[in-house]
Amino acid sequence: MSNQRKRLNGEREEDDEEDAEGIGEWERAYVDDRSWEALQEDESGLLRPIDNSAIYHAQYRRRLRILSAAAAGTRIQKGLIRYLYIVIDFSRAAAETDFRPSRMAIMAKHVEAFIREFFDQNPLSQIGLVSIKNGVAHTLTDLGGSPESHIQALMGKLEALGDSSLQNALELVHEHLNQVPSYGHREVLILYSALCTCDPGDIMETIQKCKKSKLRCSVIGLSAEMFICKHLCQETGGLYSVAVDEVHLKDLLLEHAPPPPAIAEFAVANLIKMGFPQRAAEGSMAICSCHKDVKIGAGYTCPRCKARVCELPTECTICGLTLVSSPHLARSYHHLFPIAPFDEVPTLSSLNDSRRKLGKCCFGCQQSLLGAGNKQGACVTCRNCKHYFCLDCDIYIHESLHNCPGCESIRRPKSVSLMEE
């Protein structure tokens, strides 16, 4: 687990040391934006604008390098079909106001963002929600693939009362996840705000049960580090982290969106039956199987039982076949074959470089690479296609696009493109 804060703005360190106790909640929101304190003067006494983006970019590249160093060129097997239960603790500790306006509200807001991001990155997976209230665990929603229903159920009742019980939550989740097919990866993400757990039985036994059923439990704590959470995550192979403020909580949550590496002996290769439905013709009428209502037009037809479904990806309610479309699979693909980080081009190598192909524009956005005073600004280059990209395009390519435009635009005669490796 890591409690390290990512310093997006290097000046933040000094602020924290000075105002260790005095920094109030309201001030923290402006810590990032205290640009007036970060102004510098150049030689002639004029103000120099701060180049935040370079710092941000260096930050980002460092993180990427760590991630890919961990991968180290080897192909890591990841679980693409994930069945994730999010357990949110709504005990009385969730009503604390150390996160504005309350821990509950912040958790709900970020879980909503997380759910959307999760389905973005893992279209084949499903989420379920569980809440802990008054020492009892309740299922808010069952495992399903539609983000809207989860978010609605979550925002429905936000109230905090009673004790929290980790064991009850684990038992409930275990019961649900045991019914999941074996090719799916079973995961639990617990957002724990209480400081203790009042359990009816021996929680160690429950942890062993979860470990045996291959449940990967991760915990994000909001108050302090607890031994039992650490133990749970160590036993089941999950991640334990404790959020220190709102931004950190968001980062920690979003870390769980990309699929985690699969444990070798649990990830057995299976053949999974999936259907690729056709879009129904405009104007065709059918009874939609999810709403049980007559719908006209837009919809998909299950290839096996010909029932109508409204959106993809989903499980056909009539015959149980997983229905996906090819872009969904493509989106999952890039987790298995991540794009290699680009190399930094040293800024001192000026345009005297023999490779005239350098050009003066970024290949991605066609904006000029030259910075102030005709000197070459910071840029990066792709190893394979040798094109140059500006920093913003670099971030966009690695975070959202997952494909290098330079490599894609090289014409290949019919062979399978190995560029993505």
**Which residues contact another protein by CB under 8 A?**
166, 195-199, 202-204, 223-229, 231
Q: Which is nearer to another protein, 50 or 228 (CB)?
A: 228
CA distance 199 to 54: 50
Distance CA 88, CA 382 (A): 42
Burial class (CB in 10 A: 0-12, 13-18, 19+), 77: middle
Can you list the positions of beta strands (E) in 232-342? Answer: 240-242, 274-275, 278-279, 285-288, 293-296, 300-301, 308-309, 314-315, 322-323
State in angstroms the smallest separation of the CB of 201 from another protein: 10
Q: Are strands 136-144 and 126-133 parallel, antiparallel or unpaired?
A: antiparallel
Nearer CB in complex with another protein: 205/421: 205
Q: Please give the Cα distance from 58 to 72 (Å, whole number).
A: 20
Q: Find the shortest distance in angstroms from Cβ 3 to another protein.
A: 14
Angle, in degrees to the nearest 10, between helices 103-121 and 246-255 = 30
Q: Which helix (H) or strand (E) holds 271?
A: none
Cα–Cα distance measured from residue 410 to residue 67, given in angstroms and rounded to the nearest whole number: 27
Residue placing its CB nearer to another protein in the complex, 26 or 227: 227
Residue among 196 and 288 whose Cβ is closer to another protein: 196
Closest approach of another protein to the CB of residue 283, in Å: 59
Query: How many helices (H) and strands (E) are present in the chain, helices listed first?
Result: 12, 19
98 or 353: CB nearest another protein: 98
Q: How far apart are CA 402 and CA 334, in angstroms?
A: 6
Helix 227-236 to helix 166-177 angle (10° resolution) is 20
What is the number of residues in the chain? 421
51 neighbors 39 (Cβ within 8 angstroms) = no
> Which segments of 236-276 are extended strands (E)?
240-242, 274-275
Query: At 146, which amino acid appears?
Result: S
Residue 228 CB, nearest approach to another protein (Å) = 3
User: 219 with 232: CB under 8 angstroms?
Assistant: yes
Question: Cβ 88 to another protein, closest distance in Å?
Answer: 17
| Tokens (6 digits) for 177 | 């996840």
Give the residue with the Cβ less far from another protein, 36 or 227: 227
Token pair listed for 375: 């000197």
As measured in angstroms, the least distance from the Cβ of 205 to another protein is: 10
**Residue 121 or 223 with smaller CB distance to another protein:** 223
Q: Which is nearer to another protein, 100 or 231 (CB)?
A: 231
Shortest spacing between CB 269 and another protein, in angstroms: 37
Element (H, E) at 369: none
- Shortest spacing between CB 193 and another protein, in angstroms: 12
Shortest separation between residue 231's beta carbon and another protein, angstroms: 8
The smaller minimum CB distance to another protein, of residues 194 and 407, is found at 194
